[in-house]
Structure 1
Amino acid sequence: MPHPVPASPHAAADLAPRLGRTVLYQLYPQSFADGNGDGMGDLAGITARLDYLQWLGVGAVWLDPCFVSPFADAGYDVADFLTIAPRYGTNDDLAELTEQAGRRGIAVLLDLVAGHTSDQHPWFAASADDPADDRYVWSDAPVDGFEPGPGRRGGFYLPNFFPVQPALNFGYARPDPAQPWRSPVDAEGPRANRAALREIMAHWFDLGVAGFRVDMAASLVKDDPGLVETGRLWRENREWLDATYPGRVLISEWGDPRVSVPSGFHADFFLQFGGDDDGLPLRSLWNNGAGTVQPSWGEVPSWADAEAQGDAGTFVRAWQEATGAIEAAGRGGLTGLPTSNHDFTRLVAGARDAEQARAALVLTLTWPSMPSVYYGDEIGMRFVPETPTLEGSRLNPTYDRAGSRTPMQWGDVPAGRLGPDVAESRYLPQDPDPDRPTVAAQLDDEGSLLHLVRRLAHLRTSDPRLDAAADVSVLATGYPFAYLRGGTLAVVLNPGRDAVSVAVPGAATAREVEVRGLRTEGDVVHLAGHGYAVLDLA
């Protein structure tokens, strides 16, 4: 099934109108593919693998930060927002990537670190030397959570995450006479930072970028009850975007689509954190290693587990609530459903059964949210425990993100089969398991996870019943999880190891689109352990 290609390379950047039927693919630039043979994944390597992404059915790619940085937090500590880090290439290489991706109908999104910079950024150096500079949050006296400042200014600055990431000052929603460092949101520094966000976005839009995933999007205005002022800031950015670069998109790392999408974003991911329920909706689907790498979460029974102790109802209710809030706001927008990402363990974590990833990926690609596939999840790459800590990956003694950032497992792909020959990254050690999955091993296997994801990604693009705007009717949320899309496309999923059954009206005469372990008796659908069925009832 061919992937539709826009009339011109630049048309791919017009992503907003087709976001609801687009498969987003997140790739970690340093881990994806090495185009120049120095061991570091780079932009040339991504460009060389665009044929693979097109073959897979990807409509947009999101790159983690690739800007100049000291890489104390793997690039989320930006020292120059307008320049590609030399280890990845040049700005011309980014323009070439967007051009070549556009020719294949693939939009390119970058990561916008909006709330902070590196402590090596010239803005911070200037602010550290000038007491009148309020681009960052400074206190003359020590304050809990603040760090001692460098430079002639002295004093203490507020970090946004790690100490090397000073928070940009977007103001405080509420004044407090006892805390004189609190600037109002319309002070000079906050106004300058809001203007800088638009300058950064415009710079990359003019090089063909289709949009941004915004890191820690809810963190900008401080002490902001209900995130009212933060929401106002992003709505103003959305109005500017629609007027100046129509068709481009903003996707947030907020973790609460009920609030973020009405605040101006085109989409927001359900995440393992965020919102009033602290990420419970997504963790109730796939726990991504909770209890092993992030014990503070506690043990949340997840639906995508062989023990079959979870229930998808928590997620469904959260999705319904978010969708209702988005519709009430009247602007439009989507929830986002990711398989995993660079901060949390993968669908296949440690010794967990990789077969469970099949049901999870079928759900991701057929549910009425924006599907996001983390690089390697399409072949069943696992979280690799005890991967060496690198570039700020360790967050606490039991939680190191490096195991989710290991190199893409290409294997011995025949030269020219997926585009120009390209080396595997050596940014981190490969998964040492000799039976680790690879693209090469699955490339000619129609029964592989890779081919399942490919078929579903192309189905998502071509079948209007799978557009995020199409209707969904939930039949059951446990084992199996069953729902109808567009009234006539049934999806039945069983990540558990035991056989399950459910009645699906019309199943007796349905056409099998994607099935595994399926048996029907009239309108009763029986699924074997780790089975799934996508059935056309029309």
Structure 2
Amino acid sequence: MYSRRNFLKTAAITTAGLFLQGGLYTTSAQAAQAGPEWWRNAVIYQIYPRSFADANGDGTGDLAGIIGKLDYLQTLGINVIWLSPVFRSPMDDNGYDISDYCDIAPEFGTLAEMEMLIAEAARRDIRILMDLVVNHTSDEHPWFIEARKSRDNPYRDYYIWRAPRTDGSAPDEQRSNFGGSAWEFDATTGEYYFHLFSKRQPDLNWANPQVQQEVHRMMNWWLDKGIGGFRMDVIDLIGKDVDRGITSNGPRLHPLLQEMNAATFGARDVLTVGETWSATPEIAKLYSEPARRELSMVFQFEHITLTWDPQDGKWTPRAFDLREFKGVIGKWQKVLADIGWNSLFWNNHDLPRAVSKYGDPGRYRIESAKMLATALHFLKGTPYIYQGEEIGMTNVRFESVEDYQDAESLGLYRERIAAGVSHEAMMEGIYANSRGNARTPMHWDASEHAGFSHGKPWMKINPNYREINVAAALDDPGSIFHHYRTLIRLRKEYPVIVYGDYRPLLDAHPQVFAYERQLGDQRIVVINNFSGQLVELELPADLRDLAGESLVSNYGPRNVLGRHLTLQPYESFAIALGTPAA
């Protein structure tokens, strides 16, 4: 049997930047590229504060609630908390409309509590990643309040204003992502301001150097408080050229990011990840190639949009095609193999629950949730876990659209109903893809309100919380939670998971996602059945009859790869390969 001790001994050597090549240890370009950055082998946990844990019983999650759950997150093993916005905000878009970047929304707590969270997390070797929303502000931000007072106000140019057309209508036909025109008329000054999201979220004018300086000053203020970096909301929009109709990947985007890097986080040991819906693999390299001095990594969404209708978007879902998905994953793994870095995720606060989207939320919820975790966490890149993903929380089917408490869903529902889309069709799109699916409160136990709050929660709880909750998961050694703990531990023990090359296997198979990771003589094979059926599988010739150590599985341990395999529904496993089987 292959020795785990020998595997880990080799792993310890490769961690130092030396790789075993044909019996000789040599420094590789990959080692140099990997660098010392701690975030390459980190696992990040996203918290949506409003829905995570409520300590004061007002029905809204808060910072004190998060502090009270830090031991739980330490037990899970994560290194970083990505905190969705907690800045002061009128909450038109649940905090993504900021009215004061240097204060905390009262419903979440105080600045002193934020500082306590940073300190208490640090005591547990956990860093805090703040959600930076600088494409736009709230219309209640002091800058915008001043800007709309007069056309010659000193803050006027902090935002994007244009005169109406001769007939008084909006300057052009650009649309908001939340429905309707991207232009809102301001009667006080007789001009329109630009907003790519809600009309209460006016876009900042990044062509104005004063805006850049204000944002840089604010970022340094937070970095000086000891945060671990920033997740940058829709950062690909800040280089826009409105007059040419260019909103994403505008001509000034990368120079702006390079200036931001130099002025703020570039010399600090922190993580920066950009939300970039428009990124291609080649564009992602521009963001994350270290020599360019922009960001650590980006979120790309090509694998997410595969289940969206090409014309109608996410509101008309289409079936998941595993072969398409494997092609996308393989492309990103290949292009960013040696330059740049991948972010690995299934879901977040804007996306549906992973087990409902890609697995089976019913009969095989546990098996498919573990399979999805294994398939993701062995890829090259930094994994992200969204709150509740580690216990297999699911989408919810509320009867009323209002129950989803989501500006995007409500805005698009009204617009599409008015355009003739049926209520039933729109609700099916919401059931599948509304942001509200991810924002139902966290399930801590089977008590009233799922242990989230002693008061009435701000949003309805998913009714299945009595079966799906943290307390039950902690008590069950075979739970999804403990599966995630194993995956996180393995990532810290095996450098091949972090730095190894990616080789796709069985690309044409319609039900199985399989791949190999290799670093020197270290090899891990990962096989995942994405279906609820038994699958008979014939392995490639170079993998047949190999034995090794079963690292993780969701049925029984797999130590040998035979010529043929029979995979159970949603079966998933990873083997560290060694000597041929006897």
TM bin (shorter chain): 0.7 to 0.9
**TM-score, normalisation: structure 1:** 0.81
Amino acid corresponding to residue 226 of structure 2 in structure 1:
G
* Displacement of 1:436: 3.8
Distance change in 2, residues 1:250/1:507 (3 Å): farther
Which deviates the most, 354-363 or 161-170? 354-363
Amino acid corresponding to residue 276 of structure 2 in structure 1:
W
In structure 2, the partner of 1:59 is 79
1:61-80 aligned at under 5 Å gives the runs: 61-80=81-100
Maintained 8 Å contact 2:446/2:465: no
SS of residue paired to 1:348: helix
Amino acid corresponding to residue 454 of structure 1 in structure 2:
R
Deviation per residue, 1:206-259 (Å, 9 max, x gap): 22211111111111122358533111111221233355x511221110032532
In structure 2, the partner of 1:259 is 283
Which of residues 561, 569, 572 is equivalent to 1:529?
A: 569
Structure 1 residue 233 corresponds to structure 2 residue 261: no
Which sections of structure 1, spanning at least 5 residues, go unmatched?
1-14, 172-189, 272-278, 304-308, 328-332, 414-419
SS of residue paired to 2:37: helix
Which of residues 25, 42, 50 is equivalent to 2:45?
A: 25
Separation in structure 2 between the aligned mates of residue 160 and residue 302 of structure 1, nearest angstrom: 31
In structure 2, the partner of 1:338 is 345
1:155-170 aligned at under 5 Å gives the runs: 155-170=191-206
In structure 2, the partner of 1:49 is 69
Maintained 8 Å contact 2:238/2:253: yes
1:270-289 aligned at under 5 Å gives the runs: 270-271=300-301, 279=302, 281-284=303-306, 287=307
Distance change in 2, residues 1:130/1:393 (3 Å): same
SS of residue paired to 2:404: coil
Which deviates the most, 382-391 or 95-104? 382-391
Which of residues 507, 513, 519 is equivalent to 1:481?
A: 513
In structure 1, the partner of 2:32 is none
**TM-score, normalisation: structure 2:** 0.75
Identity score, percent: 29
In structure 2, the partner of 1:389 is 404
Deviation per residue, 1:75-117 (Å, 9 max, x gap): 1111111101011111111111111111111110111111101
SS of residue paired to 1:54: helix
In structure 2, the partner of 1:40 is 60
SS of residue paired to 2:148: helix
Separation in structure 2 between the aligned mates of residue 298 and residue 474 of structure 1, nearest angstrom: 27
In structure 2, the partner of 1:317 is 331
Amino acid corresponding to residue 259 of structure 1 in structure 2:
I
* Displacement of 1:67: 0.7
Maintained 8 Å contact 1:71/1:391: no
Separation in structure 1 between the aligned mates of residue 452 and residue 396 of structure 2, nearest angstrom: 26
Distance change in 2, residues 1:40/1:226 (3 Å): closer
Separation in structure 1 between the aligned mates of residue 465 and residue 94 of structure 2, nearest angstrom: 28
In structure 2, the partner of 1:140 is 163
* Displacement of 1:262: 1.9
* Displacement of 1:54: 1.0
Distance change in 2, residues 1:165/1:507 (3 Å): farther
Structure 1 residue 493 corresponds to structure 2 residue 521: no
Separation in structure 2 between the aligned mates of residue 314 and residue 385 of structure 1, nearest angstrom: 30
Deviation per residue, 1:385-440 (Å, 9 max, x gap): 22703252524223342222001111059xxxxxx998698221111136541111
Maintained 8 Å contact 2:219/2:264: no
1:60-459 aligned at under 5 Å gives the runs: 60-132=80-152, 133-141=156-164, 142-144=170-172, 145-150=181-186, 152-171=188-207, 190-223=208-241, 224=246, 227-243=250-266, 245-255=267-277, 256=279, 258-263=282-287, 264-271=294-301, 279=302, 281-284=303-306, 287=307, 295-296=314-315, 298-303=317-322, 311-321=325-335, 323=336, 327=339, 333-349=340-356, 352-353=361-362, 354=365, 355-386=367-398, 388-390=403-405, 392-394=407-409, 395-397=411-413, 398=426, 399=430, 400-411=434-445, 426-433=457-464, 436-459=467-490
* Displacement of 1:165: 0.7
Separation in structure 1 between the aligned mates of residue 464 and residue 354 of structure 2, nearest angstrom: 17
In structure 2, the partner of 1:462 is 493
Separation in structure 2 between the aligned mates of residue 45 and residue 35 of structure 1, nearest angstrom: 5
Separation in structure 2 between the aligned mates of residue 89 and residue 311 of structure 1, nearest angstrom: 41
Amino acid corresponding to residue 282 of structure 2 in structure 1:
R
Maintained 8 Å contact 1:148/1:154: no
Which sections of structure 2, spanning at least 5 residues, go unmatched?
1-34, 165-169, 173-180, 288-293, 414-425
SS of residue paired to 1:396: helix
Which deviates the most, 143-152 or 194-203? 143-152
* Displacement of 1:491: 1.1
Distance change in 2, residues 1:131/1:16 (3 Å): farther
Separation in structure 2 between the aligned mates of residue 410 and residue 239 of structure 1, nearest angstrom: 42
* Displacement of 1:151: 6.8
Separation in structure 1 between the aligned mates of residue 528 and residue 71 of structure 2, nearest angstrom: 31
Distance change in 2, residues 1:375/1:444 (3 Å): same
* Displacement of 1:301: 2.6
SS of residue paired to 1:109: strand
| Structure with more helix by fraction | 2
Deviation per residue, 1:340-393 (Å, 9 max, x gap): 011121113287442322221112211102111110011110011227032525
Number of corresponding residues: 474
* Displacement of 1:318: 3.4
Maintained 8 Å contact 1:25/1:58: yes
Distance change in 2, residues 1:338/1:521 (3 Å): closer
Separation in structure 1 between the aligned mates of residue 62 and residue 109 of structure 2, nearest angstrom: 7
* Displacement of 1:150: 4.0
Maintained 8 Å contact 2:52/2:452: no
SS of residue paired to 1:233: helix
Deviation per residue, 1:473-514 (Å, 9 max, x gap): 222233322222234122111121222324262764211111
SS of residue paired to 1:93: helix
* Displacement of 1:146: 5.0
Distance change in 2, residues 1:229/1:58 (3 Å): same
SS of residue paired to 2:575: strand
SS of residue paired to 1:46: helix
Deviation per residue, 1:118-154 (Å, 9 max, x gap): 1111100111113132111111323134544447433
Maintained 8 Å contact 2:547/2:561: no
Mark the structure with the bigger radius of gyration.
2
* Displacement of 1:261: 4.7
Separation in structure 2 between the aligned mates of residue 17 and residue 425 of structure 1, nearest angstrom: 43
Separation in structure 1 between the aligned mates of residue 209 and residue 298 of structure 2, nearest angstrom: 25
In structure 1, the partner of 2:547 is 509
In structure 2, the partner of 1:180 is none
* Displacement of 1:470: 2.3
Amino acid corresponding to residue 457 of structure 2 in structure 1:
R
* Displacement of 1:337: 1.5
* Displacement of 1:283: 4.2
Deviation per residue, 1:142-195 (Å, 9 max, x gap): 313454444743311111211111110123xxxxxxxxxxxxxxxxxx101111
Maintained 8 Å contact 1:32/1:424: no
Separation in structure 1 between the aligned mates of residue 372 and residue 252 of structure 2, nearest angstrom: 36
Maintained 8 Å contact 2:42/2:382: yes
